[in-house]
Amino acid sequence: MKEPKVLQVIENKPIAAGIYSLELYHHALCEEVLPGQFFHIKCGGDKFPLLRRPISLSYTKREKGAVVLIYRVQGQGTEFLSSRRPGDSLDVLGPLGSGFEVNRQYERVAIVGGGIGIAPLVELAGIYGDRAAVFAGYRDETFLLKELQERSADVRAATEDGSFGYGGFVTDLLLQYLKEQRTDMVFACGPKPMLKTVAKICRENSVGCQVSLEERMACGVGACLGCSCAVNERDGSLQYKRVCKDGPVFRAEEVCWDE
């Protein structure tokens, strides 16, 4: 039987303005969790805030038996998370969701993250290593670049204000890359407008694409139908699927981007 887990905080420290790295200890979990999966975390000591908050796995530290989550302080829930200290514990459900479909035969993949959406891609970058070109897009301040570079030799950064790397959108870099390099699959996570552009670029260049979506959640396990996103069925009709259970990773071509 599954059960809520009580995880110990090993470390919880800021890595950029308003962005934290949270390391949680759990040996079994560390072996079990897949890239793209998330945890549903109780973010309050007492009853409130009421609902759990979904945060993705960023990467595992197998030697330590730890999972690392990277989160941006957004409101009450993540504010609470940022106040946790080493030795404190957290009530966690998971790992939840389907995760990325990892095909180890792929010779070349592109991994594209925008903002905090870079976080859920780090473990995946580790799986593909030097077969992955990693594209990280930031507004201004960069983060997680070292962790990505430790996993792949080909990490390319873009900042919208031009302060580091390419000045502009990360999707420009992806487009350029796909034109020059045969690629088996693109994996993407980030704000919806960015994902929509990634999906369009992949479609136009006939490359498969998997995107990790976000939606407001209640249960996180598939029971409430509260986290639905619109997908196109084969027969052309529109259906709602659960981001928490059927996703959060979807094939880009099934997502209904105009909803």
Partner 1 sequence: MSSVDMSVNIAGIRLKNPVMTASGTFGFGEEYGEYYDLNRLGAVVVKGLTLRPRKGNPPPRTCETPAGMLNSVGLQNPGVDFFLEKELPRLLDRGACVIANISGASVDEYCLMMEKLSKSGVAAVELNLSCPNVKEGGIAFGLKPDLVYEVTRRVKECGQKPVIVKLSPNVTDIVEIALAAAEGGGDAVSLINTLLAMDIDVWSRRPVLGNTYGGLSGPAVKPVALRMVHQVAGAVDIPVIGMGGILDWYDAVQFILAGAKAVAVGTANFVNPLAPVEIIEGIERYLVKQGFTSVEDMVGALV
Ligand X SMILES: Cc1cc2nc3c(=O)[nH]c(=O)nc-3n(C[C@H](O)[C@H](O)[C@H](O)COP(=O)(O)OP(=O)(O)OC[C@H]3O[C@@H](n4cnc5c(N)ncnc54)[C@H](O)[C@@H]3O)c2cc1C
Ligand Y SMILES: Cc1cc2nc3c(=O)[nH]c(=O)nc-3n(C[C@H](O)[C@H](O)[C@H](O)COP(=O)(O)O)c2cc1C
Choice between 120 and 248, CB closer to ligand FES = 248
**Chain residues in the site for ligand X (CB under 6 A):** 38, 49, 51, 53-56, 69-72, 74-78, 116, 119-120, 214-217, 248
Q: Please name which of 146, 23, 35, 37 lies closest in space to residue 81, comparing C-alpha atoms.
A: 23
The listed partner (ligand Y, ligand X, partner 1, none) that binds 248, CB under 5 to 8 Å by sort, is: ligand X
Tokens of 103: 């095909």
Write the interaction track for ligand Y spanning residues 220-249; mark x where CB under 6 A is met and - where it is not. ----x-x-----------------------
Nearest to ligand X of 175, 218 (CB atom): 218
Supply the minimum distance, in Å, between the C-beta of residue 224 and partner 1.
6
Nearest residue (CB) to ligand Y, 81 versus 227: 227
CB of 212 to ligand Y, least distance (A): 23
Q: Which residues are at the interface with ligand FES (CB under 6 A)?
A: 217-220, 222-227, 242, 244-245
Question: Closest approach of Cβ 216 to ligand Y, in Å?
Answer: 12
Contact partner at residue 209 from ligand Y, ligand X, ligand FES, none, CB < 5 to 8 Å by partner kind: none
Least gap, CB of 244 to ligand FES (angstroms): 3
Element (H, E) at 249: strand 249-251
Using the Cα atoms of residue 124, residue 126, residue 130 and residue 136 in order, give the sign of their dihedral: positive
Burial (CB < 10 A; 0-12, 13-18, 19+), residue 28, is exposed
Query: Cβ contacts of residue 61 below 8 Å, gap of 6+?
Result: 23, 30, 67, 68
Which residue is closest to ligand Y by CB? 224
Q: Three-class SS of residue 150?
A: coil
Minimum distance from CB of 250 to ligand X (Å)? 11
Nearest residue relative to ligand X (C-beta):
75
50 forms part of the interface with ligand Y (CB under 6 A): no
Q: Could you tell me which residues are beta bridge partners of residue 39? A: 55
Closer to ligand Y by CB, 153 or 224: give it: 224
Which of the listed partners (ligand X, ligand Y, ligand FES, none) does 220 bind, with a CB threshold of 5 to 8 Å by partner kind? ligand FES
Return the residues of window 171-230 that contact ligand Y according to CB under 6 A: 224, 226
Nearest to 132 by CA among 151, 150, 113, 114: 151
Angle in degrees, CA 114, 116, 117, rounded to 5: 50
CB-based contacts of 185: which residues, under 8 Å, 6+ apart? 103, 106, 109, 110, 207, 208, 209, 210
Instruction: Produce one character per residue of 52-89: b if its CB has 16 or more CB atoms within 10 Å, e if not.
Output: bbbbbbbbbeeeebbbbbbbbbeeebbebbbebeeeee
Q: Which residues bind ligand Y (CB under 6 A)?
A: 224, 226
